[in-house]
Amino acid sequence: MKVILTGNEAVARGAWEAGCHVAAAYPGTPSTEILENVSTYREMYSEWSPNEKVALEVASGASMAGARAMCAMKHVGLNVAADPLFTMSYIGVNGGLVIVDADDPGLFSSQNEQDNRWYALHAKLPMLEPSDSQECLDFMKAAFDISEQFDTPVLLRLTTRICHSKGVVRTGERTERPVRAYNRNPAKNAMLPAFAKAKHYMVEKRLEEMRSFAESSPLNYIEMNEGAKIGVVANGVGFQYAMEALGDRASYLKIGFTWPFPRKLVREFAAKVETLWVVEENDPFMEQEIRAMGIPCSGKDVLPLVDELSQALVAKAVLGTEPGPGTETGIMPPNRPPLLCPGCPHRGLLFLLSGKKDVVVTGDIGCYGLGSMPPLNVGESTICMGAGFSAAIGFQKALEKAGKDRKVFGILGDSTFFHSGITGLIDAVVNKSRGVFVILDNRITAMTGQQHNPGTGVTLMGEETAALDIPKLCEACGVKSGNIHVVDPYDLKAAKKAVDLAMAADETTVIVTNRPCALIKDVQRARSDLFCTIDHEKCVVCGACLNLGCPAITKKDGRIVIDPVPCNSCGLCVQICPKQAISREGELHD
Amino acid sequence: MTREGKNVLLVGVGGQGTILASKVLSEGLLSFGYDVKMSEIHGMAQRGGSVSTHVRYGERVFSPVISKGEVDILVAFEKMEALRWLPYISGDGMLIVNNQEIFPMPVILGQAEYPFQLEKTLSEAVSRCVVIEAAKEAEEIGDPRVMNMVLLGAVVKKLGLDEMSWEETLRTCVPQAAFQPNLLAFEKGMKLAE
């Protein structure tokens, strides 16, 4: 059947057709929809794991036991899962094991632009790279076969444009396969030093075997065009940009099996063309290999290392053609940065912390990161998942060393807390941090688009399950119950009281906000007819409400206007208006 | 039927429904036998930021994105976003713009000004400029959310794809309860672009 699918949908379909049994992931843009789609195929067990390391370990256990298994994560997620990754390379597989990695060239929704092809080289694992949705499906199936043929986990690397681009795909049916037999085999599966050393020899040998396999794999192919003097080696979406820009003016070596790099094939191709170009996004991964072989080529000497490529960039680099004349007015519009939504429950606490001079806020990965933009300007740092807590500990200790009396607030969300914030909190308690640890619990993994997490009480497959109690967890981590303040962030008075108590405390303190995300369907429905209105007789246009950074409140033609459609009557503006000019309207639905 | 390919860029503010409009467009094009690629942005940028969705179709499409100067039709769901993406329109390209202003935070905070007399600037810059009152039309239909379908209807008309039947595609892409208002909006958009 011919359908139109995103790369992520096609990866899920490929896993299903390949007879995959177990799939695990932690959400992260641009990879999130892979597991969301896997969960729609009921033949597969699928789960949201608390973090990427757990996801890869769950998939590893399933593979060891004989099931075909996969996990999916964004590029920085593979850093979290790197520990099991490197050792699973030694262990290999029983049932096929595929690790889907989604890089983010252009940093659409990430904290760095790392190129995860280096993981293939570093962990000595094969890597496949599809160039469109059809290949996402086909390569996923090929990856399982390669995994079982060579007794190795396989990395399938996508990028944002592959994940979130749709293309026409021919789908097939599922090949049902039994879970393979499992026999206890510590020499294969228990990586004690003596076993692991023996395995390392095997890994090096496997790499050489896979190198000759890659040379003749149909995932790499040469497409010669008569009379074309330019030769292009390209992978991923870069191949599409090259085809678009150069068409039959070039010949192509399309790389789908990226690692081990098919050196002989490259040498054969290079001999047939006059000039050789390497078209790849971010790092000169293939280019470095080709140059090391002594083959002259062009690539990152002309094409950019940073950001995405495009057909225009390729055409300019290879042919010297400038892009067609666009339409210019000479007027630059103001920026439109992303914002916390109207009614976002993060806004209350962030507002209380904004402008506080005696406070430092270390942030984390999640919507609250948007609080570091004007007008709230709350947040000094964003490193990675969990660092909102652990960096706060170090920050506080350093300020104490410097003799500065400033309180450090570490801020993260519920999903981030379960992911890796909880270990930071344990460290804070045990090592006597005076910091304040804030969990903005909005009952969902919001930034990636509403996924369940260990606090929500529902699994990826839609079953009801235990919902972990965050305040109780904090208490179990050793925070004194008197130092745990649970507040409604829509209630500024209560929230301020908690902040004041935390400021005065000399021990590890926790603040948990407990309002669900305004975008959760039930919340949206319940609050759909609630809104705030402004009494223009009372309003003196002082602009206090604008300091909330709420997209529903604007100043237009000298008046403050509240748009009732996006407004959900969180009521923060009502509470801070010095003239009591704003009031709540409408009804709450059940 | 012409098999000529086109590049359509839909731009707007996160939450305005550009992705759904692009989905309907691509699904329709597939059912008419075109090769289609579409590229969209998820994640952080969706939170009220500037968003873009690329739709490309023809006999065979390689790149999923459109570069500067390659757009045949730019569909702007918000006026200032039309200005931002104007350099993407090709020399003889067209602009379909929704007559709606959404102030970004720098404007709300008084750090920047919303461009003055934007409609005039746009229609002077692009000779083929169509202004659509999509928000007003959607409100008249009784559902402000179907604004995206008014704009989609206009695009389909201007692409010359209005001879084909879009009803089935629409039915599969929107929730059942929302089908009627979406269809009404789509048909209204086609009329407005005549």
Complex ipTM? 0.94
pLDDT digits (tens, 9 = 90+) for A395-404: 999 999 999 9
In chain A the domains, ranked by start, together with CATH numbers, are 2-174+192-215 (3.40.50.970), 221-319 (3.40.50.920), 347-522 (3.40.50.970), 527-585 (3.30.70.20)
* Residues whose CB falls within 8 Å of the CB of residue B149, separated by 6 or more in sequence, listed in order: B21, B24, B138, B170, B182, B183, B185, B186, B189
Helix residue ranges per DSSP H, A39-114: 52-64, 75-80, 82-91
Partner-chain residue, chosen from B13, B62, B91, that has the shortest CB–CB distance to A243? B62
pLDDT at B49: 87
Using CB atoms within 10 A of its CB, is residue A171 exposed (0-12), middle (13-18) or buried (19+)? middle
* Residue B7 Cα, gap to closest chain A Cα (Å): 13
Q: Which residues neighbour B57 within 8 Å (Cβ) at sequence distance 6 or greater? A: B5, B6, B26, B29, B34, B35, B36, B37
Choose the closest CB to A168 out of B35, B67, B69: B35
Residue B123 confidence (pLDDT) above 80? yes
Does the distance separating the beta carbons of A328 and B125 come in below 8 Å?
yes
Residue A139 confidence (pLDDT) above 80: yes
Tell me the pLDDT tens digit for each residue of A514-560. Answer: 999 999 999 999 999 999 999 999 999 999 999 999 999 999 889 99
Q: What is the pTM of this model?
A: 0.96
Q: What is the DSSP string of A277-345?
A: EEE-SSS-HHHHHHHHTT---BSTTTS-SSS---HHHHHHHHH-PPPPP----SPPPPP----PPTT-T
DSSP-based three-state secondary structure for A266: helix
Question: Of A214-218, A428-432, A463-467, B141-145, which range is least confident?
Answer: B141-145
* pLDDT tens-digit map of B42-83: 665 567 888 899 999 999 999 999 999 999 999 999 999 999
Q: Do B36 and A4 make contact, defined as CB atoms within 8 angstroms?
A: yes
Can you tell me the mean pLDDT for A264-291?
98
Q: How many CB atoms lie within 10 A of CB A145?
A: 12
Q: Give the angle A186-A192-A193 at the CA atoms, nearest 5°.
A: 135
C-alpha closest to that of A52 among A340, A365, A410, A338: A365
Predicted pLDDT of residue B3: 65
Contact B42/A336, CB-based, under 8 Å? no
Q: How distant, in Å, are the alpha carbons of A283, A542, A586 from that of A581? A: 56, 11, 17
CB environment B9-32: b (16+ within 10 A), e (fewer): bbbbbbbbbbbbbbbbbbbbbbbb
Mean pLDDT of chain A: 97
Q: Do B49 and A337 touch (CB under 8 A)?
A: yes
Span A284-297, mean pLDDT? 98
Burial class (CB in 10 A: 0-12, 13-18, 19+), A123: buried
Q: Parallel, antiparallel, or unpaired for β A250-255 and A230-235? A: parallel
Residue in B closest to A554 by C-alpha: B108
- First vs last C-alpha separation in chain A: 43
Confidence of residue A329 (pLDDT cuts 50, 70, 90): confident
**Predicted pLDDT of residue B41:** 77
Q: Count of CB contacts below 8 A, A vs B?
A: 184
- CB–CB of A434/A507 below 8 Å? yes
Q: Which residues share a beta bridge with B43?
A: none
Q: pLDDT digits over A163-203, tens only?
A: 999 999 999 999 999 999 999 999 999 999 999 999 999 99
CB-based contact, B177 to chain A, within 8 Å:
no
Which of A104, A107, A336 is best to mutate for the B interface (most B CBs within 10 A)?
A: A336
Q: Does residue B1 surpass a pLDDT of 70?
A: no
Neighboring chain A residues of B106 at a CB cutoff of 8 Å: 334-335, 337, 374
Q: Which residues of B touch A546 (CB under 8 A)?
A: 108-109
Say if CB A564 and CB A533 are below 8 A apart. yes
Q: Which of A429-443, B33-47, B131-145 has the lowest mean pLDDT?
A: B33-47
Sign of CA dihedral A519, A525, A526, A528: positive
Chain A partners of B36 at a C-beta cutoff of 8 Å?
Answer: 4, 166-168
Do the Cβ atoms of B42 and A241 come within 8 Å? no
Q: How far is A196 from chain B (nearest CA, A)?
A: 40
Q: If pLDDT is split at 50, 70 and 90, which confidence band does B14 have?
A: confident
Nearest CA among B145, B170, B148, B134 for reference residue B28: B170
> Are β-strands B89-98 and B128-132 bridged in parallel, bridged antiparallel, or unpaired?
parallel
Place of tokens 């934007």: B118
Search chain A and give the residue with CA nearest B16. Answer: A566
Domains of chain B and CATH, by start: 6-192 (3.40.920.10)
What is the percent of chain A where pLDDT is above 90?
96
Residue A323 has pLDDT above 90, yes or no: no
pLDDT at B168 over 50: yes
What is residue B142's predicted lDDT score, i.e. its pLDDT? 92
**Are A143 and A98 in contact, with CB atoms under 8 Å apart?**
yes
Record: contact B43-A323, CB cut-off 8 A: no
For residue B137, what is the DSSP state? Answer: H
Comparing CA positions, the residue from B69, B159, B82 lying closest to residue B120 is B82
Residue A485 corresponds to which amino acid? H
Residue B167: strand, helix, or coil: helix
Reference B115, options B105, B124, B126, B103; nearest CA is: B103
Choose, out of B26, B65, B88, the residue to mutate when testing the contact with A (most A CBs < 10 Å): B65
Show residues of chain B in contact with A241, CB under 8 Å: 62-63
Tokens of A146: 């390669």
Instruction: Determine the residue among A161, A166, A373, A448 to mutate to test chain B binding: the one whose Cβ has the most chain B Cβ atoms within 10 Å.
Output: A166
Task: Please confirm whether the linkage preceding A30 is cis (ω < 30° from 0).
Answer: yes
> Exposed, middle or buried, A434 (CB in 10 Å: 0-12/13-18/19+)?
middle
For B85, which residue in chain A has the nearest alpha carbon?
A327
Q: Helix count (H) and strand count (E) of chain B?
A: 8, 6
Contacts of A324 in chain B (CB under 8 A): 68-70, 90-91
The one-character DSSP state at A451 is: B
* Mean pLDDT, residues A450-472: 97
CA A365/CA A582 separation, integer angstroms? 33
Are residues A370 and B40, on separate chains, in Cβ contact within 8 Å? no
Q: Is B108 on the interface with A (CB under 8 A)?
A: yes
Say whether B44 and A447 touch across the interface (CB within 8 A).
Answer: yes
Check residue A327 and give its pLDDT. Answer: 83
Rounded Cα–Cα distance for residues A147 and A408 (Å) = 47
Distance from the A367 Cα atom to the nearest Cα atom in chain B, whole angstroms: 8
| Interchain proximity B107–A334, CB inside 8 Å | yes
CA angle A283, A288, A292 (to 5 degrees): 175
Residue A294 vs residues A27, A50, A263: alpha-carbon distances, Å? 42, 46, 11
* CA–CA distance, A464 with A461 (Å, rounded to integer): 9
Is the CB of B114 inside 8 Å of chain A's CB atoms?
Answer: yes
